[in-house]
Structure 1
Amino acid sequence: MLDGKVKKLSIVIVTYNSGALIEGCLNSIFIHNDIDTALEVIVVDNDSADYATTFASIEKKYGESVTLIRNVENGGYGQGNNIGIKAASAPIVLIMNPDVTLFAPVFRKALLQFRDIKLGILGMQQYEKVGMRRQSFLPLHPSIIGLLLYKLYTWCHCYSSRFFCIHGSCFFIRKEAMENIGGFDENIFLYNEEMDIHYRLLQQKKYIIKYDKTLSYIHPMHNRKENLKELKQRFSTYMYVCKKMSLSSRTMICKYINLYRLYLFRSFLKHDTDICNTYSTFILYLLRQKKLQS
């Protein structure tokens, strides 16, 4: 607490070769800071090649308003966040990707909701750009039924912690709740961290998870196309979380296969040859994984 005042909110941003993005993220934070010196901003760099120039630029512009921590190894997104959360002095933490920006104040209203001591996680509406909504929460089970439920709940602008986890790119969490569940699982290098945290938090039977559509942020996805490496890594961490939660691996794989067969058909109708090839190869990979479970 550099200014000697009590911090109410700590923002933790983990960077990895994100020098081109972090300035826009930090600018939006300070422009829309509605809690003044009660805000603490922590940037943890996961051993980026450009960390020195990035840190120098941040120090020049923001001085002691931003706490900079260099992680000497890239232990993954979760490990970097654990370092930032441990350093955080506020009871509420905002986990934020470096490519996220704010376009309106959100801190004061979010903190008011955390007066409810049962609130563990608070999610917000994600936007591609102002006026273009994006996926703010994710189905806990990648399946056709999960997709249909997601479409229904999104259309109604509703949320249920029974079926969905809050998107991990930007969300508020009670620091005590994270400490109670042991923080991010550092065995997960990337992907599905939000699903793992969701399950472990609800297992405590002490906290609730909420979504507030009136709070929002921008996280440009630019219609990103999934590649095979990413799909395999997402699947691998998904299966890891399923095993932790004692969910049937074979059942989950079958649901995964059916979902991506649907995605493949949709891509075929769109004449998207590249993604069709990616999905076809991925489905063959999933079928081999299913066979290994026999």
Structure 2
Amino acid sequence: MTGLAAVVVAHDSAEALPACLAALKVEGVPALVVDNASRDASVAIAEAAGARVLRNARNEGYGRANNRGVRASAAGHVLIVNPDVILQPGAAAALAAAARAWPDAGLFAPRIVEPDGRFFYQPRSLLAPYLTNPGGRRDLPKGDACAPFLSGACLMVERALFLALGGFDEEIFLFYEDDDLCRRVADAGRALVHVHAAVALHGRGRSSAPEPGRVFRTRWHQAWSRAYVSRKYGLPDPSPSTMLVNLPKAALAALALRRAGVERYGGSAAGALAALRGRRALDREGLA
């Protein structure tokens, strides 16, 4: 197995996919699109762009779909790319050069630039066992650097290592699966490397088209997944405090007839309650 291939998980991603896949093509990186039961033209767009497509009969979630794509790939390294990420010229070559320079590292990620022009860099992670930064001081790297966390929006990993570590944790439907993977890579003694010369534009929030109930569902999974990974690594369960903060806000939003507030705060409280009750995220999504 040689070379680099991209895995792109799509779910109603027709708006974002063309630019993502076109950029990969320019970079000479073949794309494998795993479609999570899109209801739009995502599959047709991916096929028209020359990507290999694997179809899931239902939305399997971010981690499970990526795992399927990585298993189906034959490349030595895989580039996990969100549909709303656009690689800039030379990004793939810079990531490959970093892998050659630091063969003992585990994960590599480009410099991710947000829609407003800001450079995304998370200076700490809930799960980081090293390079801890309790105060959250945000000193942006000016070159290649080891990091406590790399965003799952775009990262490169040796396929064999990814599979040996079990890929993304499939108990997680959405959120914190990248934190969890970063933790396991670090626990395996492999560094997480920010590659400054590789640049990727991130559309943030444009991976999927809007849908009713999306905010509630998103906040539910954020709260549930944070509780799940906290317990997994012996950290205090944040669920009680999440409920304490969000339940009153949801109640006030309901009294004020603010639907957006009810969805936002109610979703967080419901996810935390589900975690406290031992409910699985997969049960909620009908995947158990």
**TM-score, normalising length from structure 2?**
0.73
2:200 corresponds to 1:217: yes
Which residue pairs with 1:55 in the alignment?
43
Distance 2:42 2:205 in 1: 24
Change (3 A) 1:154 1:285: farther
Which residue pairs with 1:202 in the alignment?
186
Q: How does 1:180-191 map to 2 (within 5 A)?
A: 180-191=164-175
Which residue pairs with 2:13 in the alignment?
18
The one-letter code matched in structure 2 to 1:239 is: A
8 Å CA contact 1:123, 1:136 repeated in 2: no
Distance 1:286 1:222 in 2: 20
Change (3 A) 1:284 1:236: closer
Q: Cα offset for 1:283? A: 8.4
8 Å CA contact 2:221, 2:271 repeated in 1: no
Distance 2:273 2:42 in 1: 43
| Cα deviations by residue, 1:35-94 (Å, 9 ceiling, x for unpaired) | x4xx331111112123xx4333433343xxx21111223221111101110111111110
Which residue pairs with 2:61 in the alignment?
76
Q: Cα offset for 1:230? A: 2.6
2:235 corresponds to 1:240: no
Q: Cα offset for 1:285? A: 7.2
Q: How does 1:127-146 map to 2 (within 5 A)?
A: 127-129=113-115, 132-137=117-122, 139-141=124-126
The one-letter code matched in structure 1 to 2:77 is: I
Distance 2:34 2:80 in 1: 11
Q: Cα offset for 1:15? A: 0.5
Q: Which runs of 4+ in 1 moved over 6 A?
A: 155-158, 254-258, 273-292
| Cα deviations by residue, 1:184-209 (Å, 9 ceiling, x for unpaired) | 1111111111111011112222x111
8 Å CA contact 1:159, 1:210 repeated in 2: yes
Which residue pairs with 2:159 in the alignment?
175
Q: How does 1:1-294 map to 2 (within 5 A)?
A: 7-31=2-26, 33=27, 36=28, 39-50=29-40, 53-62=41-50, 66-115=51-100, 116-129=102-115, 132-137=117-122, 139-141=124-126, 149-154=135-140, 161=147, 164-205=148-189, 207-221=190-204, 227=215, 229-249=217-237, 252=238
Q: Cα offset for 1:155? A: 7.7
Higher helix share: 1
8 Å CA contact 1:138, 1:150 repeated in 2: yes
8 Å CA contact 2:6, 2:31 repeated in 1: yes
Q: Which structure 2 residue ranges, 5 or more long, are not aligned?
A: 207-213, 250-257, 278-288
Distance 2:156 2:103 in 1: 14
Q: How many residues are treated as equivalent by the alignment?
A: 256
8 Å CA contact 2:7, 2:78 repeated in 1: yes
Change (3 A) 1:138 1:169: farther
| Cα deviations by residue, 1:218-277 (Å, 9 ceiling, x for unpaired) | 112379xx945433321210111111112222xx4588799x89xx9xxxxxxxx99888
8 Å CA contact 1:124, 1:136 repeated in 2: no
Distance 1:200 1:49 in 2: 34
Distance 2:156 2:31 in 1: 14
8 Å CA contact 2:14, 2:42 repeated in 1: yes
